[in-house]
Amino acid sequence: MNELAQGSIVLVDFTYSNQAQSKVRPAFVVSNSRYNAISRDVIVLKITSRKPKLFAVSITSEDLMAGSLDRPSFVQVDAIYALEKAIICDRIGIVRTEKMQEIQKQISDLLAID
């Protein structure tokens, strides 16, 4: 797979916490392109169709410059994962700059020092 750009929407084979099953789910690439080019890992945020209670940004196909989502969804900003690129199944889109800025604002709010 070519190097991933920050803001890409990818499909990831997530393993459940019981380690016995997995499910392919969408995720948002949050690590910057410089990191992605030199690391075997990528940092992503989980995307879900169920609205989380906190730190969620809505996302639809209209928010993408390219590609599409099956249904309106939410980037779960507090569900941060470092994953090996090898478990990324496919790249399905890339978000518009405005949506990327909205997600970055939520990340900043989440990680702000009190």
Residue-wise pLDDT for 12-22, tens only, equals 987 766 777 88
**Residue listed under structure tokens 């890409």:** 8
Residues 6+ apart with CB under 8 A from 33: 3, 4, 5, 6
pLDDT in the model for residue 84: 93
Comparing CA positions, the residue from 47, 72, 71, 61 lying closest to residue 94 is: 61
| Residues belonging to the chain | 114
* Per-residue pLDDT reduced to its tens digit, 45-102: 999 999 988 999 999 999 999 999 999 999 999 999 999 999 999 999 999 999 999 9
Question: Distance between CA atoms of 40 and 107, rounded to whole angstroms?
Answer: 23
pTM score of the predicted model: 0.90
Structural domains in the chain, CATH included, are: 8-111 (2.30.30.110)
* Residue whose pair of structure tokens reads 């939520």 in the numeric block: 106
